[in-house]
Structure 1
Amino acid sequence: MTNDTNGHRRIGFASRLGFGASGIGTLYRDVSETAAREVLATAYNAGLRYFDTAPLYGHGLSELRLGQYLRTVPRDSITVSTKVGRYMVPPRGESVDYGLWASPLRLKPVFDYSYDGTMRSLEQSANRLGFQDFDLVYIHDVDRFTHGDAYERRFGEAMDGSYRALDDLRRAGHVKAIGVGVNEGDVATRFVEAGQFDAVMIAGRYTLLDHSAAADLFPAAEKAGTEIVVAGVFNSGILATGSDKSAATYDYGAPPAEITARAQRIERICEKYDVPLQAAAIQFPFRNRLVSAAVLGMSRPERVAQNLEWSKYAIPEAFWQEIDDLC
């Protein structure tokens, strides 16, 4: 951690483009042990040095695989983040909904934002990752998307439990930085204003298609000196596949008509300037000086190379001006 000219703590991400490890937890499709090691080695060798995971990803499998690989590289060469809010238990005969995970560990996730539950979650993460310390820990999924009517109660639990636990660990030097990872800008803003967070990971709300976090979260984060990490730059699929695909998704579901229409307008601008839609999606967040890093989910080596190529694609300023004019 370092301080900027305003005295705010800075995490110092080892790379601005991060590797999102949900894919090696078998999000959507099975990924073998060999394939997981291969994509992680490809990412590291290509210069990606920020790796993000969570207990939810593959119900512990992502952390397990990530730790196995990252323990083979110098610890001081990487930034690693994980999350709290869930821990894993044996289901002991209970049925478990494995959701989007194709081949996870056969464990049951338990939501727990209490002080003790947070410590338990981090102990499990340390065992899977094999690290005794953490660069960055996010409080995960305290939002309406995840909890619905229970959101208010969960927010209170998280501030009274998870936040206090992580703040204690930060003060003791066991956690370098703490944050919150959610899908909704107003929820992220509420956290930033309620505590002293080093970073916010906002998923899907600051993208080429959806700029909504810029209205509330970004001003609050700038005032608090909280760094922004962007995830979900493809809005779960539509900005990766294009809007005309029958399987195009937005926030893990069928895109609403207004989202499809906006995506099509963006695609026409991309065609006009011969800019790949995916390149624009990856580069868009970095146009804002408050964005410190962007995390991309990858589970195939060829995706690493393609994403890096898109991240460096030359995009003219006139293109961005037309994108800005859509707002």
Structure 2
Amino acid sequence: MSLPSTFVSNFHDENVVKKMKYSIFGDTGMQVSKLSLGCAEFSSIYGDYSEDNCKATLIKSLKSGINYLDTAYWYGQNTSQEVLGRCLKDVPRSSYYLATKVGRYEQDPKEMFDFSSEKTRWCLENNLKTLGVDYIDVIQIHDIEFAPSIEYLIENTLPVLDEARKKGIVKYIGVTGYPVSALKEIVEKSPIKIDMVLSYCRFNLVDDTLKDFIPFFKEKKMGIVNASGLNMGLLSNSGPQPWHPAQDEIKTACKKARDLCIENGTDLARLATYYIYNDPDIDTNLVGMKTLGQLDSNLDVLFNGITQKEKEILEEVKKGFVDLKVKHWEGVELEKFKNSTLKYD
């Protein structure tokens, strides 16, 4: 196969890069790797991390053909961007696409979200400086369902991003969120071109809601990022963080799947990633990785698939989710947020 435009001859491992699968990202012309690196774990949001391990994981990811990196101010309150910026210091800028976000900031609910034009301009400047780059490939509005309204984003946030795009500070504009219907709504209503969507936890072994919306996004020639195919840790042998918002019914079903895998000496994460990697409609699957072990496991599944025994266990795991009455937690976090003391100016 031909090498992607991000290939740098004196940096990449050509033989490994040739194994990587790439997709054309909407009508952007970007050739994105089927597996991309989520850098939220370059912070303490998913537990302890080592900057040395993060850097080693990043460098090997890039040399292996992964070329799409995603971060945000929200991940560790700028920590992820700070760590990523240091790790990228000596990496050729042309060897990767860099995606980050505006709109979500502090842990305190009163300061968590700000989609105003002023804060958006500040965040753009901060992100560029922190990451140590002259431009951002994809700038995204972070978790749009928490904005005062879709109209607010269209009137305040998107014009700032469009202005930055015209200046060349950013190349493409995207939106992220948990309710896929909200992503569709803003694309339908916005007079400003939106180039991509990032949907998280909505295409995996438990919930495949994203699939219902893919024809719409494809018709609009948009790039599609499927983030957190492990359902923010639910579909892993280690389990989720204590703050995970899923209902008990979902957590219980995932624990049964986890126990089944452990009993059979199998990693639930391998089965979950195999499931998402084999879908042809997803441009890239964003997976959080902060160790070489996590990276090697993901590359192994992507390049080599899983064993026959693992496929049999996967079928058993899938049966455990068929009769779930609740398959997502849409509205749970939003309701909690609305009950907080946050006020918009």
TM range (shorter): 0.7 to 0.9
- Higher alpha-carbon deviation: 158-167 or 39-48: 39-48
Q: Which residue of 2 aligns with 1:185?
A: 180
- 1:173 equivalent in structure 2: 168
Letter in 2 for 1:71: K
Verify: 1:199 aligned to 2:217, yes or no: no
**What's 2:205 paired with?**
208
Q: Report deviation, 1:204.
A: 0.1
Retained in 2: the 8 A contact 1:204–1:210?
A: yes
**Equivalent of 1:222 in 209, 218, 222:** 218
Q: 1:130 aligns with which of 125, 129, 132?
A: 132
| Structure 2 letter corresponding to 1:132 | D
Q: Deviation at 1:170?
A: 2.2
Residue 259 (structure 1) shift? 6.1
Whether 1:159 aligns to 2:154 is yes
1:197 alignment partner, SS class? coil
Pair 1:239 & 2:239 matched: no
1:254, CA displacement in angstroms? Answer: 5.4
Task: Report the residue type matching 1:212 in the other structure.
Answer: T
| Aligned alpha-carbon RMSD (Å) | 3.6
Q: TM-score, normalised by structure 2?
A: 0.73
Q: Distance in 2 between matches of 1:76 and 1:314?
A: 30
Q: 2:56 aligns to what?
A: 38
CA distance in structure 2 between the aligned counterparts of 1:121 and 1:85, rounded to whole angstroms: 8
Q: SS where residue 57 of structure 2 aligns?
A: helix
- Alignment CA distance shift 1:280-1:128 (3 Å): same
> Does the CA-based 8 Å contact 1:87-1:120 persist in structure 2?
no
Inter-CA distance 313–252: structure 2 relative to 1 (3 Å threshold): farther
2:291 pairs with 294, 297, 300, which one? Answer: 300
Give CA deviations for 1:75-118 in whole Å, capped at 9, x if unaligned.
11101100011457xxxxxxx65x9xxxxxxxx95522122221
- The match for 2:270 is 279
Q: In structure 2, the residue corresponding to 1:56 is in which secondary structure?
A: coil
TM-score w.r.t. length of structure 1: 0.76
State the shift of 1:48 in Å. Answer: 2.2
Q: Does 1:288 align with 2:279?
A: yes
Q: How many residues align?
A: 295
Residues 201 and 251 of structure 1, relative CA distance in 2, 3 Å threshold:
farther
